[in-house]
Amino acid sequence: MNYTELVNETAERSGRSKAAVKEILDAIQDVTRDTLRSGDKVIIPGFVTLELTERGKRVGKDLQTGKPTEFGPTKVVVCRVSDAFKKYVRE
């Protein structure tokens, strides 16, 4: 499901306009991005927990030359899906 399909399906199920749903989804995205950037977690009970963590430097392989190369530290978003959501999807 892409963004447009998500907006359409949510609008249909909620009885709201597509424009209203799009505005809400965009606001959720903005709030989530700002919250993670500030160092806090985003927790949606029964669905997902998002957290920004830092991965340390590591050694990888240059795919073009095959030689080892060092990658510096980077920030990554960790997404943990709730047990309730996993159970629902598996059934």
Q: What is the pTM of this model?
A: 0.77
Inter-residue contact 77 to 50 (CB < 8 Å): yes
Q: Taking the C-alpha atoms of 41, 76, 84 and 20 in order, what is their torsion angle to the nearest 10 degrees? A: 70
| pLDDT (tens digit per residue) in 19-65 | 999 999 999 999 999 999 999 999 999 999 999 999 999 999 989 99
Contact residues for 14 (Cβ-Cβ < 8 A; gap 6+): 21
pLDDT recorded at residue 50: 97
Residue whose token pair is 């609008």: 11
